[in-house]
Amino acid sequence: GASQDSGEGKQLTLTQLDDYNDEFVAGAKNQLATLTISRDSYSNALENRYSYLQHPPVFSHKLSIDPPITNQKSSGRCWIFACLNMLRLPMMQRYKLEELELSQPYLFFYDKLEKSNWFLENVLATLDEELDGRVVQFLLTDPINDGGQFDMIVALLEKYGVVPKEAYPETFHTSNSREMDALITSKLREFAKQLRQAHAAGADVEALRARKRGMLGEVHRVLAVSLGRPPEKITWAFRDKNKQFHEFRDVTPQDFYRTHVQVDCTRLVSLINDPRNAYMRKYTVQYLGNVAEAAGVRYVNLPIADMKEYAAAVIQSGRPVWFGCDVGKFRSNARGLLDPQVIDYRAAFDFGFDTTKADRLQYGESAMTHAMLLTGVHIEDGKPVRWRVENSWGDGSGNKGYLTLTDAWFSEFVYQV
């Protein structure tokens, strides 16, 4: 049978602590490491000089336009910023514009409203589940967080279109979303309680959906007060690089998207690299979405080499690539570099890391946390060496708003293109 746990070694003993202290004092470099590390961040104090010298921000293939860098500020709208930064580039070429920004707040408004409806529909779909069960508690955790997937922004664009930023600009609560998110979340949890109680009292689904209509009206009121009502029609006027004046009047957001953006996002395919699961198969994530009538979030899982090949080919054709990654891993803020070797933890702590990409996903050590835009790639001997990234953290971040990520970092921490 199985051996019994004697309990030996369960406690952290004072003798054990003395051994640790003796070992630390005996380490020749520990005093120097303490003097260095205690004064600065790991990313600054342990920055690997050889890493950034090997990967200068120079690329064999780069898009011809460098538009002004955008800034999502204190919000989680990176996925919206990255997509709209992608869509503006062909517009700038077509209309000969030196700068253009599409309205992230416009899509943010409708994303919050659609996510609220999505959440309440999931509440209706799980009325017979236990309140303290895993599914319902998962749904209640964070119903309208700022994040999203590529298919979710496609659903918003197809339904609501988009407008230039000057037609629907930032407010305090688009750039600092936490307070508004908390308010709406509190109401949504209250609504979930009311719907479950009404169901228990015998209300049918038609009656519950009638109540949901009023609930969404309250959410809409919060959004309209906090962000302003989105425009139903706009006038888009500008001068191009040749100083020629252009004006388009009484344009709906949907017409602006179809007529002026002219990119059919429904034809784009979302690729992921998830080594936990079989390749060359289509996947989705249950309960992940925003627009209830949309097709949902879909991915095709590919080996990382295939993902890189397709991404490089798109860049070489003159188009940018939306991508999702774990941006907090091995990043030098000062150099604007993402590389597994850029922070030398071994130099200070005498250890490295022994986990694969699949391990990190399985043990909660890594996840897709940020979306950006690939706008360049450096090819040597037919293979990518490093990638150029347009971020949305303002031009004071990284290398004037741009980052360089090495091909090794792409392999380990890029999850979706």
Catalytic sites, residue numbers: 78, 370, 391
Q: Could you tell me the CA-to-CA distances from 353 to 273, 341, 366 in Å, in that order?
A: 21, 11, 13
Tell me, rounded to whole angstroms, the distance of Cα 7 from its chain centroid: 45
Rg (CA), the chain: 25
- 95 and 240 in contact (C-beta within 8 Å)? yes
Within the chain, what is the greatest distance between any pair of CA atoms? Answer: 86
Spatial separation of the C-alpha atoms in residues 401 and 183, rounded to whole Å = 32
Q: Which helix (H) or strand (E) holds 392?
A: none
Spatial separation of the C-alpha atoms in residues 69 and 402, rounded to whole Å = 8
- Cβ contacts of residue 190 below 8 Å, gap of 6+? none
- Cβ contacts of residue 212 below 8 Å, gap of 6+? 117, 120, 121, 124, 191, 195
- Torsion sign over Cα 206, 182, 295, 303: negative
